[in-house]
């Protein structure tokens, strides 16, 4: 399947958001901000990168979000790196929790 820059449809976005629910509240905060900032602009490529990240354990995901480590091996893809950069950006006016 070839991924494209086509925007996700609302249903696809909702399903992706549901899949991104985590057990670690800190991860949920990052993901919540990500969807609030980029939700309407997410593409199939973003969905692929985010889905790959959601396969990780919560602590491994948090390490990537906080730049404690970088993606390696099969996780080191353009899609994953792009999503990580989007998640890691602090938006103006974003509240720290």
pTM: 0.86
Give per-residue pLDDT as tens, 48-68: 999 999 999 999 999 999 999
Give per-residue pLDDT as tens, 83-93: 999 999 965 44
Going from the N-terminus, what domains does the chain have, and what CATH number goes with each? 10-88 (1.10.150.250)
The answer to whether the Cα torsion of 18, 43, 91, 52 is positive or negative is positive
């Amino acid at each position: 399947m070839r991924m494209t820059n086509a925007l996700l449809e609302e249903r696809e976005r909702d399903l992706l958001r549901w899949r991104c629910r985590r057990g670690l509240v800190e991860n949920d905060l990052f993901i919540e901000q990500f969807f609030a900032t980029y939700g309407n602009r997410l593409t199939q490529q973003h969905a692929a990168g985010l889905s790959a990240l959601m396969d990780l354990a919560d602590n491994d995901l948090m390490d990537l979000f906080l730049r404690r480590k970088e993606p390696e091996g099969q996780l080191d893809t353009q899609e994953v790196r792009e999503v990580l950069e989007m998640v890691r950006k602090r938006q103006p006016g974003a509240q720290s929790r």
